[in-house]
Amino acid sequence: MQALVCEAYGPPETLKLRDMPIPQPGDGEIQIRVHCSGLNFPDSLIIENKYQFKPELPFAPGSELAGTVTAVGPGVDRFVIGDRVSALTSWGGFAEYAVANAQLATRVPETMDLETAGVFTCAYGTVYHALKQRARLQPGETVLALGASGGIGLATVEIAKAMGARVIAAASSDEKLAIAKAHGADELVNYKTHNLKDAVKQLTGKHGVDVISDPVGDALSEPAFRTMAWEGRHLVIGFAAGAIPAIPLNLTLLKGASIMGVFWGDFVVRTPAENHANMDELYELHAQGKLKPHISARYPLADGGKAIRAIMEGKVTGRAAILCNAENG
């Protein structure tokens, strides 16, 4: 099979298309013929050895995918050959075939095509867990989505709207904000041309923001936190801008507010039944037309490095799809 392989840690331009043996499923694993692998920010980190997972070289990046089950390992009773599934792999998704832990896979309903399924699980699964289990978002509350045109950001806009919230989308350009608007954002803040704190305070008045979805970090987190409502929740999701900010703890006291870590990957492993229930609810919201994943770019497997370069430069809006078998590309 063909795989886009990292043979030595380095920038995305060093990835190479290689012939590799088809991976075989071990205990509790399934083998999947990959239709589409969703590009995620950690793909840019893992190839440079900057991520928490450090696979043995050579390996293919690609942490989520969707395709068809082609073999089932011992002990797997949830899937049979031919099932359409989406799965999390940590790495190995940028290939024609991959193996995945069956516990980290879900059956894709007929209402969703495999390209959408390949980019759906990670962003939507993370945000739903963040808003539902962590922030316990209530209808009528206000959500501030930072990086609102990115994978996490757009999923925040759509899911928060579906949960009955008012959504303020914040991003670095008017083009990016137009995408967030098209996906349901109520109000928009361009934090390149406007002061984030002042603009959000103007929109939310005395009350402030109930929940902040923060996949960006760095210089945005503190001004965002300063717009917080009483008993607000700041969801720490990621640090796409690079630097990990330090927020003065007195701000939490003054607002009776919480800073909440979100680690969806661990939630999936620790509480698989809860995650499967979340995914079923997300598939249902998608079937109802309330979630519309935005695939802004499609790349054949050979060009996966170009996709990683684009996400490193903050140029991917919504999701990018890697089409892993030639007939899909």
Ligand X SMILES: NC(=O)c1ccc[n+]([C@@H]2O[C@H](COP(=O)([O-])OP(=O)(O)OC[C@H]3O[C@@H](n4cnc5c(N)ncnc54)[C@H](OP(=O)(O)O)[C@@H]3O)[C@@H](O)[C@H]2O)c1
Judged by CB under 6 A, the stretch of 56-64, 104-112, 289-297, 308-316 that binds ligand X is: 308-316
Binding residue for ligand X (CB under 6 A) from 314, 322, 324, 328? 314
Q: Is residue 172 close enough to count as binding ligand X by CB under 6 A?
A: yes
Is 42 a binding residue for ligand X by CB under 6 A? The answer is yes
Q: Is 151 in the site for ligand X (CB under 6 A)?
A: yes
For residue 77, the minimal CB distance to ligand X (Å) is: 28
β-sheet with 209-214: strand ranges across = 187-190, 166-171, 142-145, 209-214, 228-236, 258-261
Pick the piece of the chain touching ligand X (CB under 6 A) from 58-66, 110-118, 244-252, 258-266: 258-266
- Sign of the C-alpha dihedral, residues 292, 287, 89, 303? negative
Are the beta carbons of 73 and 28 closer than 8 angstroms?
Answer: yes
User: Which residue lies nearer to ligand X by CB, 69 or 189?
Assistant: 189
* Residue 215-234 contact track with ligand X, rule CB under 6 A, x = bound: xx------------------
**Residue among 79, 128, 264, 283 that touches ligand X (CB under 6 A):** 264
Is residue 150 near ligand X by the rule CB under 6 A? yes
14 touches 51 (CB < 8 A) = no
Q: Give, as one character, the DSSP assignment of residue 153.
A: H
Instruction: Pick between residue 150 and residue 232 the one whose CB is nearest to ligand X.
Output: 150
Looking only at residues 173 through 212 of this chain, which bind ligand X when binding is defined by CB under 6 A? 176
Contacts of 82 (CB under 8 A, 6+ apart): 68, 69
- Give the nearest distance from C-beta 301 to ligand X in angstroms: 20
| Position 263 contacts ligand X (CB under 6 A) | yes
Beta bridge partners of 169: 145, 188
Residues in region 128-147 near ligand X by CB under 6 A: 147
By CB under 6 A, tell whether 299 contacts ligand X.
no
What's CA 3's distance to the chain center, in Å? 22
Buried b (16+ CB within 10 A) or exposed e, 194-215: eebbebbbebbeeebbbbbbbb
> CA 120 to CA 161: how far, in whole Å?
17
Q: Which residues bind ligand X (CB under 6 A)?
A: 40-42, 122-123, 126, 147, 149-153, 171-172, 176, 215-216, 237-242, 262-265, 311, 314, 316
